[in-house]
Amino acid sequence: MSQATSGAKRRSDGVSGALVYLVVDDVALHEDLLRRHVAVDMPPTDQTWGTREMYVRDDGGRRVRGKGASR
């Protein structure tokens, strides 16, 4: 019987989350977040693997990552 159907408890790494896709002007969004005093961990940055990413934290301290194609 599989673990899913046997009632056995599954191990978890303790991390949960959600994935949401938004299309935005990342520079304008970054400036707006700074004006609103949102904690920005990393401003919009072109990564070597071909994406442009920005990391912020919400009021609860959860990390939110914005990701899109590099410019």
Domain membership flag for residue 23: yes
Which tokens in the block code for residue 37?
């005093």
Domain contains 14: no
- Within 8 A by CB and 6+ apart from 54, the residues are 26, 29, 30, 40, 42, 43, 44, 45, 65, 66
Residue 32 inside a domain? The answer is yes
Are 66 and 43 in contact, with CB atoms under 8 Å apart?
Answer: no
Can you give the pTM of this predicted structure? 0.62
Is residue 3 predicted with pLDDT exceeding 70?
A: no
Structural domain harbouring 41: 19-69
Residue 7 confidence class, pLDDT cut points 50, 70, 90: low
Whether 60 maps to a domain, the answer reads: yes
- Whichever domain contains 59, its CATH number is 3.10.180.10
Q: Tell me whether residue 41 is in a domain.
A: yes
Q: Is residue 61 part of a domain?
A: yes
More confident residue, 12 or 25: 25
Structurally, the chain folds into a number of domains equal to 1
Q: How many CA atoms lie within 13 A of 55 on its CB side?
A: 6
